């Protein structure tokens, strides 16, 4: 991806320089202005990274650069706007999807950090309205350029504006629907991968010290309330604290809880917290690093529950005092989840603050009630 990004950016910059030279000698001030602006924008990701520590993922950057190239070179220089009626529609659709991604990213971070207590439907509605509003403001900008600089961006005025607004709404609706599916069911798609990738690469933007303190406070309040139908504590992941040795039964206990949350209404497993609510820390498991601890749990889930379930589970390491605990948030699955153990498959659900195993007719009845919509 790095080589593709480099050659794409260099090619676009070269073509922008050609566009600038052509606009200068052919007296096309709008193309001249936009080519200079676009050339500067190609350096923006590097500037943001150097000055603010903001990392733009390579796939994001390539899409932005290609959009600029399509808008300027093909649209203005090659006259695609005049020759092909659908070119403006295509670019407006891309812009509306990009604006929707911006709105969805902001709401996703607030939702993930529990700063926004809203359903996936409400988040998708606000994503839609944000993108439509931003697209409308852009139409104001085009109208202003046509009025004061005698440009021809809105060629047929009302008709062109309405087509742009409808296109913006279609793109915004697409992002809102895909965002809803991801937040509701945990199913990864291209847009959700872009958002998650951007958020994970830029913790400086979304995880300030204040946010870290707030997360610690929330965890402390959660621990103080004790175990519930949606919260369970485990002192360790693999170590028996009585013998101080590795114990598969301890691992199995955590996996049972994860499977039960997936089969029920979701929930949070806190590893590094005793049944009495004492923060013991994951350091008791004696992994070389915290990352290896998280990787070990992820591999256990893949091997004993299923790789397809990883998208329903989110890990977060939280430091309290001098130790760390791991927060494991599980979303409800859209199909039955079985825990594979010693050649057998087990089915667990939550019943109050406990994890229980269902077999036979009880399992069938529960699955029909819980998963019948699927």
Domain boundary (177, 205, 233) is at: 205
Domain boundary (153, 175, 205) is at: 205
Question: What per-residue confidence (pLDDT) applies to 63?
Answer: 62
The structure tokens listed for 138 are: 């852009």
36 with 111, same domain: the answer is yes
| Other Cβ atoms closer than 10 A to 170 | 14
152 with 282, same domain: the answer is no
Domain housing 328: 208-371
The structure tokens listed for 188 are: 């990864």
6 with 25, same domain: the answer is yes
7 with 144, same domain: the answer is yes
Nearest in space to 64 (alpha carbons), one of 194, 196, 200, 203: 194
Q: What is the residue whose two structure tokens read 């009845």?
A: 365
Nearest in space to 294 (alpha carbons), one of 324, 331, 262, 338: 324
Polymer length of the chain: 374
CB 337 within 8 A of CB 308: no
260 with 154, same domain: the answer is no
362 with 305, same domain: the answer is yes
Question: What per-residue confidence (pLDDT) applies to 209?
Answer: 44
177 with 224, same domain: the answer is no
Question: What per-residue confidence (pLDDT) applies to 113?
Answer: 60
CA–CA dist 225, 231 (Å, integer): 9
CB 142 within 8 A of CB 163: no
The single-letter DSSP state of residue 310 is G
Helical axes 2-25 vs 58-69, angle rounded to 10°? 20
Strands of the sheet with 231-234, listed across from one edge: 231-234, 267-271, 323-330, 313-320
Question: What is the residue-wise DSSP string for 158-192?
Answer: HHHHHHHHHHHHHHHHHHHHHHHHHHHH----HHH
Q: Which residues contact 197 (CB under 8 A, 6 or more apart)?
A: 57, 59, 60
Q: Dihedral sign, CA of 50, 51, 53, 57?
A: negative
224 with 274, same domain: the answer is yes
Instruction: Kindly list the averaged pLDDT for each block of 10 residues, start to end, along the chain of length 374.
Output: 69 76 74 74 73 60 62 54 62 72 72 67 86 80 67 60 81 85 66 62 53 77 92 94 90 95 93 92 90 90 89 86 90 90 90 92 90 64
Domain boundary (205, 221, 236) is at: 205
151 with 22, same domain: the answer is yes
63 with 158, same domain: the answer is yes
Using a 10 angstrom Cβ sphere, with 0-12 exposed, 13-18 middle and 19 or more buried, the burial of residue 265 is: middle
pTM of the model: 0.51
139 with 221, same domain: the answer is no
CA–CA dist 304, 147 (Å, integer): 65
Calculate the dihedral angle through the C-alpha atoms of 305, 307, 309, 314, rounding to the nearest 10 degrees: 110
41 with 139, same domain: the answer is yes
Question: What per-residue confidence (pLDDT) applies to 357?
Answer: 94
Look at the chain and report how many structural domains it folds into: 2
CA angle 368, 369, 373 (to 5 degrees): 80
Question: What per-residue confidence (pLDDT) applies to 208?
Answer: 47
In three state form, how does the secondary structure of 38-101 look?
HHHHCCHHHHHHHHHCCCCCHHHHHHHHHHHHHHHHHHHHCCHHHHCHHHHHHHHHHHHHHHHH
């Amino acid at each position: 991806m790095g080589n593709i990004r480099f050659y794409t950016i260099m090619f676009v910059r070269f073509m922008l320089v050609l566009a600038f030279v052509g606009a200068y000698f052919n007296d096309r001030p709008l193309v001249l202005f936009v080519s200079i602006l676009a050339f500067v924008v190609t350096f923006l990701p590097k500037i943001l990274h150097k000055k603010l520590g903001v990392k733009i993922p390579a796939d994001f950057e390539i899409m932005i650069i290609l959009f600029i190239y399509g808008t300027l070179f093909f649209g203005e220089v090659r006259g695609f706007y005049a020759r092909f009626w659908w070119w403006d529609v295509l670019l407006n659709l891309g812009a509306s999807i990009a604006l929707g991604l911006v709105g969805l990213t902001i709401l996703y971070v607030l939702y993930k950090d529990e700063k926004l207590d809203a359903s996936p439907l409400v988040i998708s509605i606000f994503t839609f309205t944000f993108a439509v509003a931003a697209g409308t403001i852009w139409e104001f900008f085009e109208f202003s350029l046509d009025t004061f600089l005698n440009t021809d961006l809105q060629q047929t005025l009302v008709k062109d504006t309405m087509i742009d607004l409808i296109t913006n709404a279609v793109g915004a609706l697409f992002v809102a629907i895909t965002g809803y599916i991801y937040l509701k069911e945990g199913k990864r798609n291209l847009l959700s991968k872009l958002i998650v990738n951007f958020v994970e690469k830029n913790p400086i933007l979304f995880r300030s010290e204040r946010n870290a303190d707030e997360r610690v406070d929330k965890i402390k309040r959660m621990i103080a309330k004790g175990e519930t139908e949606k919260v369970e504590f485990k002192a360790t992941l693999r170590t028996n604290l009585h013998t101080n040795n590795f114990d598969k039964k301890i691992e199995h206990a955590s996996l049972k809880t994860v499977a039960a949350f997936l089969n029920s209404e979701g929930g949070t497993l806190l590893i590094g917290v005793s049944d009495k609510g004492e923060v013991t820390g994951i350091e008791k498991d004696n992994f070389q690093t915290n990352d290896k601890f998280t990787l070990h749990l992820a591999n256990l889930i893949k091997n004993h529950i299923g790789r397809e379930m990883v998208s329903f589970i989110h890990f977060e390491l939280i430091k309290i005092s001098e130790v760390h605990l791991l927060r494991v948030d599980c979303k409800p699955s859209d199909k039955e989840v079985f825990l594979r153990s010693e050649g057998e498959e087990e089915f667990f659900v939550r019943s109050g603050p406990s994890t229980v195993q269902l077999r036979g007719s009880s399992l069938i009845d529960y699955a029909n009630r819980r998963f019948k919509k699927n």
